[in-house]
Structure 1
Amino acid sequence: MQTKPENDTDLRLKVNRETARLPWTELLKHFAAGNVVWVANSLDLVDVAVRISHDDKANISQWMNAGLVAKVSDQQAQSWLEADAELWAVVVSPFILVQQEKPTAQRVH
């Protein structure tokens, strides 16, 4: 069954609405179950979620091979815990995709 482009737009809107900032401590039980996936800041979290929900193996494999998408490592988990980090998160069952907040350019007045 082919997905129509308007369905993709609806899915992007749905995923975007379901994206939230969460403290890492709230995601620890999911990390322990092996269900938390890190997404590099160079990628768009919503786009990655949409690609995963479409089971787009080509792009996902490319990102994983490039080290841009990966299961959260013990080192990442520990550093986020120590920093009391908040992460952007979105659920694409059974996974929770997380991304660190992107640095914003500061303007000096």
Structure 2
Amino acid sequence: MTEEVSTLYANLLGETARIGWAELMPFFAKGQVLWVAPSLDLVGVAEAMAEDRGQEVAAWMQAGQLQRLSDEHASQWSENDPDNLWAVVLSPWVLVQAREASAQQ
């Protein structure tokens, strides 16, 4: 079964890129970084937020799969500066996800 990719999804995908912790720090300090669980599609989450699909977003938040970046994550990323962080901006939010090693290939 094939699904057609929406124009919004394609645009968000085109704006998704690797990001370093140093670039994220100012947004984290403002409380604007949302962590997306590796099990979710980063761009799909951004699309759901942009389309105001509140029930879907609320379900992810309730399940702990989408949340403001925790101080614990920030501390770990500050110490390790991982190279597997991907982000997409959905103003005022920056959605970020640490990709699994196998997903980077």
Amino acid at match of 2:74: A
SS where residue 104 of structure 1 aligns? helix
Q: What count of residue pairs does the alignment treat as equivalent?
A: 99
Choose the corresponding residue for 1:50, options 47, 52, 74.
47
Partners of 1:82 and 1:42 lie apart in 2 by 24
Q: TM-score, normalised by structure 2?
A: 0.89
Q: CA shift at 1:84, angstroms? A: 1.1
Q: CA shift at 1:18, angstroms? A: 0.1
Choose the corresponding residue for 2:8, options 2, 8, 11.
11
Partners of 1:62 and 1:97 lie apart in 2 by 16
Give the CA RMSD over aligned residues: 1.5
Q: CA shift at 1:25, angstroms? A: 1.1
Partners of 1:101 and 1:47 lie apart in 2 by 15
1:31 corresponding residue in structure 2: 28
Matched, 1:72 2:65: no
Higher radius of gyration, 1 or 2: 1
Partners of 1:90 and 1:102 lie apart in 2 by 17
Amino acid at match of 1:47: G
Partners of 1:63 and 1:24 lie apart in 2 by 24
Query: Could you list the runs of 5+ residues in structure 2 that have no partner in the other structure?
Result: none
Q: TM-score, normalised by structure 1?
A: 0.86
